[in-house]
Amino acid sequence: MIKRFVLLLCILTLGLGSFARADEGMWLFNAFPKDKVQAKYGFAPDQAWLDHVRLSSARAPNGSSSFVSPDGLIFTNHHIAQECIHDLSTNGKDYMKNGFYSPTRAEEPKCPGVEFVVLEDIEDVTTKVNAAVKPGMSTADAGKAQREEMSSLEKECSINGMRCDVVTLYSGAMYNLYKYKKYDDIRLVFAPEFDMAFFGGDPDNFEYPRYDLDISFFRAYENGEPAKIHDYLKWSPVGVKEGDLVFVSGHPGRTGRLLTVDQLSFLRDYQYPMQLKSYSRRIAMLQKFSAASEENAREAESDVFGLQNAFKAVTGYQDGLLDKDLMATKAADEKALHNFVNSDAKLKAEFGDPWAEIAKAVDVQKQIYKPLGYLDNLGGFRGDLARFARDIVRAAEEKQKPSNQRIRGFQDSALPTLEQRLFSTAPIYKSLEQALLAESLAEMQDVLGADNADVKKALAGKTPDERAKELINGTKLDDVAVRKQLYEGGEAAVKASNDPLIVLMRQIDPDARAIRQRNEDEVESVLRRDGGYIGKALFAKEGLKVPPDATFTLRLSYGAVEGYKLNGKNVPWFTTMGGAYKHAAEHGSKPPYQLPESWLKAKSSIDLNTPFDTVSTPDIIGGNSGSPVINKNAEVVGIIFDGNIESLPWNFEYSDKVARSVEVDSRAIIESLRKIYHADALANELTGTEGGAMKPNPQNKMRKPVNKQQ
């Protein structure tokens, strides 16, 4: 199927109308539009180039990363590494505040519960998944059969330490089996201070110009030694200039470009408003918690950052859907495809009216969205301890079933990842856990109502604050040994436990499972079947030249380093390290515009004209954070850490008029490592040099920016 997919991609050259725009595309590595890139930029990556980049890329727990040395060195963002940095900040050490650097490998500390994976192979399993559906099956039974087949394929594949996931593409028109190599011994090498990694704070988030050193480095180990990596990305000795072709290899989270108008309306009118309201109250709660003490602020820092980032992102997505022109374009695209199906008797007979069926499923989605979110997705029971309890309770029941009949996430192939998270030695802060649980219980009570049966079970006649205090003070799940004893003891141990969080999850889980089952039967199964029909209709009309929506799986985007014009003003493609000092001074050098002491001391020694943050047109979305930006030689020229606010509607429609990806320039990274952080061993490992001098490249000279500097 993969060969046929690529063949069709090359053969079909008809125009895409409104479906393909400019450099749009988070492309599958097994279906990259080489000819399209060649036609515009004069370069077509061959299969060896694509394989090398794929094998050099890695998925982080919450984003993207890449290998950048043969000794397992991993390059990603600070905000992707934050959980590890935060968890290692114990015994009076605060690596979030002060940064971290290990000059020797012997001093690199292990991150608790962290796993990175590399995509080693892709197998098309569409025929196998679809063959599980037998004639006469109901939609719910068909969905169940497909889930069981997917789990069976994953189990068969997950041997010798491999992790395998069946990935749904084009809403269910295609299924690929992704085979990953796992690295679960991950150690921290370098992280700058939070003030520099998130310089400008929430006010500058999703904005540009930017002056952030949002980077971190890990190292993967195997058998106690640095992993030996064959495919890794080399560091560019020259950087980029405006107009250069660049590629972004990463793991974009979710996009909704192929959703129906009914699905988009659900997001706009229902889901996003609820999410924004929830984020607002949670941010306010954590800010109040943080104000109580310096230690509270340290404990909650990462959570506050994450919620503020999510609030701003969803606000941008919502603004995109509130754009009448965008929605009109979506409606026109849908109508054209609908008319195409109706004009072909064979297609109409095969597909029926999938848009109408999806509309019915969306109506069900509206009915169950709130209880699904608060019960099954644990929106009413936030915090690590509550999730530990639910995982233990569910695992006890699920592990008694055949692997392919379990809830996804509890199959044999998925258990190693679940166990790594469950048995993590990361510190647990009970004061923060109590605050998170109290707020989520209060929110669930407000949204579902005080008379809701599950709210009553959860609160047990107490206020949310009283109940959270009782549950967190009473639980022993902050002890890894206790979690292991319950998990390994199975159903008997869970039933016998009087741990209050375990007892609570035993009470809540039957209703959570019931609402989950209804979602799978009446929503997800319909969306997979009828979304698949729409995907097939799109194939029939346009060929396979439209990339599937993002699924937090590896994709390759491309575009150019390019500034833009906003409100009549030219916005240059780069800022400079010197601009960071100016930006700080313009804001009184006060948080969040306060440069760390290391930067103040080094000002006289660094080249202030060094390009710092840059913008380009490759197609990205949340999840691409940490993606390497590479040139046509597959050399690192930067790292994605953000998009401007104008890029957030890319969730639904790509445009390169003013929307841009934002990245840290590779030259600023080396300048910082050598002259600010004195991390010469790390810089040498990246550049393959000693003593600070890069190996000469006779083909290129150092490229100096030509735009007006920021």
Question: Could you count the other beta carbons within 10 Å of the beta carbon of residue 433?
Answer: 23
Tokens encoding 349: 């007979």
pLDDT of residue 16: 33
> What's the one-letter identity of residue 342?
N
- pLDDT tens digits, one per residue of 513-544: 999 999 999 999 999 999 999 999 998 888 76
Asked if residues 547 and 28 have their Cβ atoms less than 8 Å apart, the reply is yes
How far is Cα 202 from Cα 286, in angstroms, rounded to an integer? 15
Q: What is the pLDDT of residue 161?
A: 85
Please give the C-alpha separations between residue 573 and each of 469, 576, 616, 659, 706, in angstroms, as whole numbers.
Answer: 51, 10, 7, 12, 10
Judge contact between 425 and 515, C-beta under 8 A.
no
> Please, which residues have CB within 8 angstroms of residue 415's CB and are 6 or more apart in sequence?
395, 399
Structure confidence at residue 610 (pLDDT): 98
The pLDDT, as a whole number, for residue 11 is: 25
What is the SS3 assignment for 571?
strand
Please, which residues bridge with residue 246 across strands? 559
What is the reported pLDDT for 542? 81
In the DSSP assignment, the letter for residue 634 is: S
- Model's pTM, two decimal places? 0.90
Distances in Å between the alpha carbon of 299 and those of 124, 273, 282, 485, 670?
Answer: 44, 28, 15, 27, 31
Please name the amino acid found at residue 143. Answer: G
- Output the pLDDT for position 297: 96
pLDDT of res. 690: 63
pLDDT score at 506? 98
Q: Which residue has the tokens 């597909």?
A: 351
What pLDDT shows up at residue 544?
67
Nearest CA-CA partner of 372 in 575, 176, 511: 511
Nearest to 80 by CA among 210, 216, 254: 216
The list of the chain residues with pLDDT below 50 reads 1-20, 691-710
Backbone angles phi, psi at 226, to 5 degrees: -55, 135
The whole-number pLDDT of residue 123 equals: 97
